[in-house]
Amino acid sequence: MTVANEPSMDYTAEPGHLYGVGLGPGDEGLITLRGAELIRTADVIAYHSGTHGRSTARAIAARLIESRPQPAIEEQLRYPVTVGNPANYANQLARFYAEATARLSEHLSEGRSVAVLSLGDPMLYSSYQHLHHVLASHFPATIVPGVASINAAAAEIARPLAEATEILSVLPATADSERIKAALHATDCAVFMKLGRHVEAVRSAVEEAGMLDRAWVVERATMEGSSSYPLADANPDSVPYFAVAVVSSAVYGSKASLSYGADAAVTTCFESSEKQEATDNRVGEVVVVGLGPGAERWTTPEVSEELAKATDIVGYSTYVNRVPERVGQRRHLSDNRVEAERATMALDLARKGGRVAVVSSGDPGVFAMAAAVLEVADDALWRDIPVRIVPGMTAAQAVASRVGAPLGHDFAMLSLSDRLKPWDVVEKRLRAVAGADMAFAVYNPASRSRRWQIRELRALMLEYRDPKTPVIVARAVGSDQESVTVTTLAEFDPDIVDMRTMVIMGSTSTVAYKAAGTTRVYTARHYGEGGTSGTGELLA
């Protein structure tokens, strides 16, 4: 029976055409239909082998090669060296690839089709890539993707490589240890290829990153004799070359994983689990996190991971609304002036077994919720509740970066709000900082009802600072309403300031100058140098 519009299944190799054929991780059954047909029909079958002459790629495709209607011309590409690091290693490999491409080029020039067998996928750390780079510029070339070993490894341990918004990094275990550590710091999940003799270095880096509890070694995935076990238990002397290390999803199995495609039945299951946990009186924890100043890119991976794991999100409504909604995760929004009540709620939810994320803008330890939570937790009622603080980028850092380095020397951060402390204390601290000649960032400079304090700040600063002192006025930094102005103390207009604004006051060592169409500001690293009366002239 013929089905209308049925796609063509003719994958026969074409004359003079190069094919990079991904074989998958080792199981013949994972070779794609297209790959199998090309192996059966290509004029030339090429494959790499070690110095011993054995080829894993050839062994995987053996049945297809040997059952062909017509025998293929086989080109064994034998590496001159595969282990160690001899002095002329690079030269030997260069000669090897030059010879290999010449041999395959001759076949292609004579109109023969060439299928180069590649373990896993031809475009992921494969030997085929080097041949393709040269030959594809002279001959038609097609790449047939294969199941990568990283996918096979994840299937072997039955854990996702990544889930939800997690970031996955694929790393060569042969990379420098410092690069590996940096990569782990910037990712959520990872796979290490070419593990072999690099087990100790990888394990050390993974442990330092706090990921060892979800790291596995998978040997010979889908091949005969495959096995998997925790990376912590790996014997460096016995891990083979065909092994990968998988740092699997941190979110998998948590409520956060339900935020993507969960159905009502699973959600109900979790809700029932929550009730059971509450009945068991299991203690959870409170994690106070900083979302950064506003832009999602300024929220750190560590904070994102904590938010994904949380059962409850607690915070000022404006900040909670910045957190992506997840099915099964409860959100507790409140007014901006009830910090103590918010902290009490978070601790109570943790008492009932919740993993509670208390959210703050910027850094939670800078005029934010960390102090409020720890203050409330400093009571016998709550001291058995674990509390952790996860840092975030401060608003002062973000604003300073927009103009340069106005906080490049000693600086202070002050809140202009007199809601929790009397104005005479605020004024005393402002005068102390002004008298110490430090640049400083002003948090909570004004609100709808609190306007006179910012005017008082300007008047007070004029008692201590030159009217030409640089002042940065930044509003909604990191959002699409962002505006940043560099002005002087004399021309600074307090009436433009609101709660979304931060003000940075310069010192006598702060310089503002025009360059490349913008205004740059910095506070000299050596005290007494620079300043508006020095080499830098403020051009408003």
pLDDT tens figures, 87-112: 677 788 889 999 999 999 999 999 99
Let me know whether 231 and 303 are in one domain.
no
The SS3 assignment for 81 reads coil
CB atoms within 10 A of CB 337: 11
Q: With residue 415 as reference, give the H or E element that holds it.
A: strand 411-415
Same domain, 505 and 449: yes
Is residue 459 a part of any domain in this protein?
Answer: yes
The one-character DSSP state at 111 is T
Average pLDDT of the segment spanning 48-62: 93
Q: Would you place residue 420 in the very low, low, confident or very high pLDDT band (cuts 50, 70, 90)?
A: confident
CATH number at residue 225: 3.30.950.10
CATH number of residue 330's parent domain: 3.40.1010.10
Is residue 271 a part of any domain in this protein? no
CA angle, 142 then 143 then 144, to 5°: 120
Assigned domain for 258 exists: no
* % of the chain beyond a pLDDT of 90: 71
Q: Are 392 and 364 in contact (CB under 8 A)?
A: yes
Q: How confident is residue 529, by pLDDT bands cut at 50, 70 and 90? A: low
Q: Verify that 24 and 107 share a domain, yes or no.
A: yes
Q: What is the pLDDT of residue 253?
A: 59
Domain residue limits at 50: 18-147
Residues 330 and 420 occupy one common structural domain: no
d(CA 353, CA 183): 33
SS3 65: helix
Tell me whether residue 261 is exposed, middle or buried, using C-beta atoms within 10 angstroms of its C-beta: 0 to 12, 13 to 18, 19 or more: exposed
Mention every residue, 6+ apart, whose C-beta is less than 8 A from residue 36.
64
Tell me the pLDDT tens digit for each residue of 431-445.
Answer: 999 999 999 999 999
Q: Is residue 350 part of a domain?
A: yes
Please say if the pLDDT value at position 535 is more than 70: no
What pLDDT does 479 receive?
84
pLDDT for position 500: 86
- Is 139 in the same domain as 176? no
Lowest-pLDDT range, 80-89, 232-241, 470-479, 507-516? 80-89
> In what side-by-side order are the strands of the sheet with 243-247?
168-172, 189-193, 243-247, 215-219, 227-230
118 and 167 assigned to the same domain: no
Residues 6+ apart with CB under 8 A from 203: 212, 215, 231, 232, 234, 245
The whole-number pLDDT of residue 84 equals: 57
The tokens for 494 are 């307090």
Q: What pLDDT, on the 0 to 100 scale, is given for residue 164?
A: 79
The whole-number average pLDDT for the span 356-377 is 94
pLDDT at 526: 82
Q: Residue 18: its pLDDT value, please?
A: 97
**Domain boundary residue, one of 347, 364, 390:** 390
Q: How confident is the model at residue 86 (pLDDT cuts 50, 70, 90)?
A: low
Q: Which is more confidently placed, 275 or 67?
A: 67
**Mean pLDDT (whole number) for 292-298:** 87
The mean of the pLDDT values for the chain is: 88
Mean pLDDT lowest among 12-21, 87-96, 208-217: 87-96
Q: Please state, in angstroms and rounded to a whole number, the distance separating the CA atoms of residues 286 and 314.
A: 10
> 4 lies in a domain?
no
Given pLDDT bands bounded at 50, 70 and 90, which one contains residue 263?
A: very low
What does the pLDDT read at residue 325? 86
42 and 69 assigned to the same domain:
yes
Between residues 148 and 527, the one the model is more confident about: 148
Q: Which 3 state secondary structure label does DSSP give 119?
A: coil
What is the four-CA torsion angle of 190, 195, 199, 205, rounded to 10 degrees?
-30
For residues 140 and 75, membership in a common domain is answered with yes
- How many structural domains are present in the chain? 4
Q: Mean pLDDT throughout 277-297?
A: 78
- Regarding whether 386 and 294 lie in a shared domain, the answer is yes
Residue 2 lies in a domain: no
Q: How confident is the model at residue 224 (pLDDT cuts 50, 70, 90)?
A: confident
pLDDT at residue 392 above 90?
yes
Of the residues 122, 147, 172, the one at which a domain ends: 147
Strand partners, 487: 471
Neighbours of 313 (CB within 10 A): 23
Q: Does 511 share its domain with 418?
A: yes
The first and second tokens of residue 464, run together, are 């201590």
| 269 assigned to some structural domain | no
> Domain end: 94, 115, 147, which one?
147
Q: What distance in Å separates the CA atoms of residue 478 and residue 152, rounded to the nearest whole number?
A: 40
Tell whether the model's pLDDT for residue 360 goes beyond 90.
Answer: yes
**pTM over the 0.75 mark:** no
Structural domain includes residue 259: no
Confidence (pLDDT) at 87: 65
Tell me which range, 251-255, 409-413, 477-481, is most confidently predicted by mean pLDDT.
409-413
Higher pLDDT, 256 or 412: 412
Phi, psi of 351 (to 5 degrees): -60, -35
Backbone angles phi, psi at 505, to 5 degrees: -95, 130
- pLDDT the model gives residue 279: 39
What are the tens digits of pLDDT across the range 176-198?
A: 999 999 999 888 999 999 898 99
Q: What is the pLDDT of residue 450?
A: 85
Same domain, 482 and 419: yes
pLDDT at 528: 62
> Is the separation of the CB atoms in 188 and 168 below 8 Å?
yes
Q: Are residues 181 and 143 in the same domain?
A: no
